[in-house]
Amino acid sequence: MTELDRNNIPQHVAIIMDGNGRWAKQQGKMRVFGHKNGVAAVREAVSYARKIGVKYLTLYAFSSENWNRPEQEVSALMNLFMQALDFEVKKLHKNDIRLKILGDISRFSAGLQEKIKKAEKLTENNTALTLNIAANYGGRWDIVQAAQQLAEQVLAQQLNVADINEALFQQHLVTKDEPEVDLLIRTSGEQRISNFLLWQTAYAELYFSDVLWPDFNEAEFHQAILSYQQRHRRFGGTE
């Protein structure tokens, strides 16, 4: 594989993990089979991100719109989430990886909420990589909940409207204290951002891969990083 420029590694990579259902269909299996095999791709992506020095990796696991999927599939996804927290968190901790769940977890079962809190607590001081799992997350929801927090502070006379700026607003998003996304990857050939990190991806480089998520491996991730390194980021300016 072509060598990476180690001085130009994106700090924050976000991935829309798309294609599990189609991958399962190609195997003649139920969609759940694709989700289960997608876990292996998550492991490989996390391992590669840590190896090359990415500091923040955000994975879109379950959107706020995914509740509209068939009940059987949603139930299977919740069970898979529980199992992953049981089996993967100790490995993350051993590898100095911090786990954070981004989203409105109040809709999850009490048992799942408890596992999330324990996993976040166990890994909160790890520094090699922050792994954000976006679960029951939507970009519009994130912006609205930030606006609500600021509105409450204004009503309580703790904040003046004139003091609200982009930096302050960012501190009320679920990714507060994290850098904006440098590279957004979507698998499966679809080319849209699907309500994911709308604020945080304002100047992200976009990379669309035709590979279905369970087949997204280290080599595919490497190609995405190489593509990122060949671009010139202007942030609205000129050459």
Cα–Cα distance measured from residue 129 to residue 9, given in angstroms and rounded to the nearest whole number: 13
Q: Which 3 state secondary structure label does DSSP give 74?
A: helix
Strand partners, 137: 63
CB 22 within 8 A of CB 197: no
Task: Give the Cα separation of 106 and 86 in Å (integer).
Answer: 20
Neighbouring-strand partners of residue 102:
134
Longest dimension (CA), the chain: 59
Catalytic residue positions, numbered: 18, 66
Query: How far, in Å, CA of 141 to CA of 218, rounded?
Result: 32
Alpha helices for 53-105 (secondary structure H): 71-94
Host H or E run for residue 123: helix 110-123
Determine if residue 120 is left, alpha or beta; phi over 0 gives left, psi from -120 to 50 gives alpha, anything else beta: alpha
Phi and psi based region of residue 157 (left: phi greater than 0; alpha: psi -120 to 50; beta: remaining): left
Pair 160, 88: CB distance under 8 Å: no
- Coil/strand/helix, residue 186: strand
